[in-house]
Each structure stands twice: as C-alpha cells, then as structure tokens.
Structure 1
Amino acid sequence: MELLIMNIVKRLRKSSLLSLRKKHYYRRNQSTKAYLSTIMFASLVGTYLDLLLVGAGRYSFPSRPFSEIFTINILFTLFILPVFSFLIILVLKRLHPISRYLLLFICSLFVYIAEQIAEQFGLFIHSTYWKHEFSLFGYLLFFIVIWKFYSWQVSHK
C-alpha cells in the first residue's frame, strides 16, 4: 500500500498539471504587466507631447483641472488617453494585422473629428498655424507606437 501511494505521489510530482497552472499564472501576470506598462507609456508620451505643443503655442486648454498648476489638461493625459489606449489594445490584439491598421486609422479619424467638436465647445484653442490633419496623422502615429510598445512588451517576457 505504501509503495502504491509513493508511486502516485511521484507521478503527481512529474505531472504537467502543476507546471501548467504556474505557466498560466505567469502568462496572465506578464500580460497584466504589459498592459500597465503600455498604459503608463501612453500617458507619459501624451503628457510630454501636450507639454511640448502647448509650450510651442500650437494649442491651449482654456478649461482644465488645476489650471493654476498645469498648462495641459491632466484629465485627458492621465485618465482618458490611458483608458482609450487600453481599450484599443484589447481590440487590436484580436485582429488581423491589416485590420489593426485600419482600426487605428479609424480611431485617428475619430480623434480628428472629436478634436474639432471639442474646439467648438471651448475645450481647445488652436493657433492659426494648426491644421487638424496634424492630429489625424499624429494620433495614427501615436497609436501605432503604443501598439508596437505593447507588442514588444508581450514578445519580451
């Protein structure tokens, strides 16, 4: 009887069930790290781009939280942009590569239109030198960089 129990225990120790459970946790943990680092990266890039463009006088945010401290809209760069980036990544990872870039262009087109609407509501003031096409291609490039950063995070476990 003791020999039978020892044999079962040895087989269980050699079983791949335990290693599968560990690998699954490891993969999920790595995926979470990739999401978090990408979201933080998107927030930092968005913040620095806004600081650069606001400092250059290309646009300004007349209505923003903590306007006496920040020249940029931190609500956008710290909350809206990271959430939007997270949602885009969730969808992109399920798409075929060609469809990914089509979706990224559609998202950029959405931002292009939303920016003009936000300007009508007084959330933005653009300089006379600003062309909204800058936003269309700028956000397309931004989303591609965010996607590539996420892909790099996932591939370098």
Structure 2
Amino acid sequence: MNIVKHLNGLNSQPSPKKRSRFWNNPTLTTIFLSSILATYLDLFFVGKQMYHFPIRPLPEVFSINITFPLAGVPVLAFVFLQVMSRVNKWGKVGLIVFISLLMTIFEKFSELIGWFEHASTWNHLYTFFGYLLFLTIIYSFYRGLEKRKG
C-alpha cells in the first residue's frame, strides 16, 4: 500500500501548459499563417471560378496548384519578414507596394507561360490590392506576436 503525504506549506500552483517552440516563434507562426491563408484564398477564388491552374501537381486531387502556397509562400514570407525587420517605416510601406506590383507582373507572366488562367472579368488591379492587403495582414500579425512575446 502506497501512502502519499501532502507537504505542509507547499502552496505551489500547477505549472501552466507550455506551448511548443513553434508557436512561440513569431516568424514560424507567421509563415504558417501565410501558407494557410494563401491556400484558402486560392481555394476560394478557384471555387468562385475567378481563376484556375491548368498545370498543377496531382490535378485529380487538388483544384489548386499546391506548390506556390505550400512551398513558395513560406519561403517568400520568410524573406519578406527578414527584410521588413531591417527597414524603416517608409521602407516597409515601399516594400509592400513593390512586392504587390511585382506579384501583379509575375501573375501576368504566369498566364503567358500557361501556369495560370483568369476569368474574363478579372482585373490585375485585384492582384495588386490583394497582395497589398495580404502582406499588411501578415506583417501586422507578425508584429503583434513580436510585441506579445516581449
């Protein structure tokens, strides 16, 4: 028979659950969010038939090209966050505008080589403003995590 005695004077509270290092790392958490957000945005716009991907891996399984949101976006988000941490306020604004313009150009190039097709109602300004909003949200989320971390 085992007897467990309570230690008198021990008023310690149970320690709170510790989150994994992944969730404590603002960069990794933001990269994960950006990948998930990009995937769901692609799924939404493909579902609304605003665009589609004629060439994609596993077309019988995925309606979107999973390569960009699951590989390209994390790499680009990492580089984006690293550069954003090194520039001043106006540099941040300029970088977001520059990347948004660059993605609009890349989108047009992707159409020319057959990776991407838009509906006839698509306007490439949607891409510019979409990336402007996407990058602003991603960076704001990252800054919020950084402030919360300490």
TM-score normalised by the chain length of structure 2:
0.83
Q: Does 1:97 align with 2:67?
A: no
Query: 1:132 aligned to 114, 118, 124, which one?
Result: 124
Q: Does 1:71 align with 2:63?
A: yes
Q: Runs (4+) of structure 1 moved beyond 2 Å? A: 29-32
Distance in 1 (CA, whole Å) between partners of 2:77 and 2:137 is 11
Read off the aligned partner of 2:33 and give its amino acid letter: F
CA RMSD of aligned residues (A): 1.5
1:32 Cα offset (Å): 7.1
Structure 1 residue runs without a partner (length 5+) = 1-28
Larger Rg: 1
Aligned residues: 129
Q: Show CA shifts across 1:35-91 (max 9, x none).
A: 110000000110010000000000000101111100011100001011101101000
Distance in 1 (CA, whole Å) between partners of 2:31 and 2:46 is 22
Query: 2:103 aligned to 111, 117, 120, which one?
Result: 111
Give the structure 2 partner of residue 35 of structure 1.
Answer: 27
Q: What percent identity do the matched residue pairs reach?
A: 38
SS of 2:25's equivalent in the other structure is: helix
TM-score normalised by the chain length of structure 1:
0.79
Q: Does 1:49 align with 2:41?
A: yes
Read off the aligned partner of 1:36 and give its amino acid letter: L
Structure 2 residue runs without a partner (length 5+) = 1-20
Q: Any residues of structure 2 matched to 1:11-22 within 5 Å, and which?
A: none
Distance in 2 (CA, whole Å) between partners of 1:31 and 1:94 is 23
Q: Does the 8 Å contact 2:23/2:29 carry over to 1?
A: no
Q: Does the 8 Å contact 1:30/1:154 carry over to 2?
A: no
1:33 Cα offset (Å): 1.0
Give the structure 2 partner of residue 156 of structure 1.
Answer: 148
Read off the aligned partner of 1:42 and give its amino acid letter: S
- Higher helix share goes to which structure? 1
Distance in 1 (CA, whole Å) between partners of 2:132 and 2:23 is 24
